[in-house]
Structure 1
Amino acid sequence: MEKQKSKNKIIISSLIMATILWFVIFVLKPFNFWIEMGVSILVLVMVALFSEKNLISFRNIKLRHILIGIISAIILYFVFYAGNIISGYLFPFKDAQIASVYSNRAQGNSLLIGALLLFIIGPGEEIYWRGFIQNNLAKKFGEDKGYIFATLLYAGVHIITLNFMLVVAALVCGIYWGWIYKKEKSLVPIIISHAIWDFTVFVLFPLM
């Protein structure tokens, strides 16, 4: 019981920390966006690993999970491609808000940004948000509620950025990757999916 209470405190504290970090990264912007993002994700992953030593395990990597990761990343890219077009008719502020996110590309070269997205930011977000937050919420409230709560928290943290389009993007991604994690019970496909999607949408084929 005491151990669970301690873990609950770590989860709540880490969520508060994530909100503060997102505010610093997206609103205050005191330093290089990509370095801040990479360091922040590493901090959250370290907190998660402190709470759960065996959080990350790649012993039983299946070809199925690798394929799901690659294919799901491609599908999600085209979902966002279509969403980018459709949202232009619905939200007159869409371009300005998306441009504010893409403007961060000026703070690093493609090699640095790509490396951080592929090996730290994408994988780290999945380890923390799905592997730690969603997994623990699922244990406490059941898989379906845990999935819903984790998705809402993932999107909710982005509200601090005051960027509506970013919040919607986070909600869509949270629903998508959270569902894959719920079905596959493995971090492998969503780590691959998130890393490839990040790299594609920011480096290979930006949406604007």
Structure 2
Amino acid sequence: MIKKVPDIRLIVGFLIAHVLMYFTFMDRSIFWYMFAATMLFLISYAILNGEIDDEASFGKYLTFGLLSGLLLYSVFWTGYFLIEWLNLPFSNSISKLYGRYAPSNIWQYMILLFILVPGEEIFWRGFIQKRVMKYTTVSVGVFLSAFLYASVHFYSGYWILALAAFIAGIFWGYLYIWKRSIPLLIVSHIIFDLMLFILLPLN
């Protein structure tokens, strides 16, 4: 019987992500600086320890990226509408979350679109999920990777942010399995964030 050797690079990368995200959420005044530095480090770690998948053509990753980003936003919009319609207490948490962590000026939007979004997809799907999938079935790998992605968001102090990350992680995880294209995921994530923070915020 062959024993599988633990993936040390996966474990170390995940632990580093936790440590860095803990410090990222610790002080609101330096949140954007820390988040940018964290993602730049994680991008470097992922690229040095693996290859970036890009199996979709330019046209496909733009088209599927746009449509999937809009689809995911519609899921979140529907959830927010139901929360408001049912008068659930979560809407207050969503408003506070926006107030605390949403970008508020041009340089923060630039960091979000050109560092944070690509960094999250390169590291969490292109590195973490890709390595997790070596040891699991497709569904288990996607859900486990989404949980790992969500786990670093608990440091924000808002469980609803971790839940949102888990849902988005599942969506992008399956999209990654389907198309095997990190650029496609980046486009999808950018469209989702543009809708969420600029065009139709949920608050």
Shared fold, TM over 0.5 = yes
Q: Corresponding residue for 1:120?
A: 115
Shift in Å at residue 50 of structure 1?
1.9
Identical positions, percent: 31
Q: Corresponding residue for 2:38?
A: 40
SS at match of 2:133: helix
Given candidates 179, 182, 185, the residue that maps to 2:174 is 179
Q: Corresponding residue for 1:96?
A: 92
Q: Corresponding residue for 1:75?
A: 71
Output aligned runs, 1:27-176, within 5 Å: 28-29=26-27, 31-52=29-50, 55-56=51-52, 58=54, 61-88=57-84, 89=86, 91-92=88-89, 94-104=90-100, 108-109=104-105, 111-176=106-171
Q: How many residues were matched structurally?
A: 199
Partners of 1:106 and 1:149 lie apart in 2 by: 27
The one-letter code matched in structure 2 to 1:85 is F
Shift in Å at residue 59 of structure 1?
7.8
Q: Corresponding residue for 1:11?
A: 10
Please, which runs of 5 or more residues in structure 2 have no aligned partner?
none
Q: 1:59 to 1:108 in 2, by over 3 A?
A: same
Shift in Å at residue 146 of structure 1?
1.8
Shift in Å at residue 35 of structure 1?
2.2
Q: Spell out, residue by residue over 1:36-87, the C-alpha distance to the aligned partner (whole angstroms, 9 max, x if none).
A: 21211111111112212xx235586331221010011111112111111223
Query: TM-score under structure 1 normalisation?
Result: 0.84
Contact 1:61 1:188 in 2 (8 A): no
Is 1:21 the counterpart of 2:20 in the alignment?
A: yes
Q: Corresponding residue for 2:190?
A: 195
Please, which runs of 5 or more residues in structure 1 have no aligned partner?
none
Query: TM-score under structure 2 normalisation?
Result: 0.86
Q: 1:123 to 1:148 in 2, by over 3 A?
A: same
Q: Spell out, residue by residue over 1:2-31, the C-alpha distance to the aligned partner (whole angstroms, 9 max, x if none).
A: xx65xx2221122122222222222x1164
Contact 2:55 2:180 in 1 (8 A): no
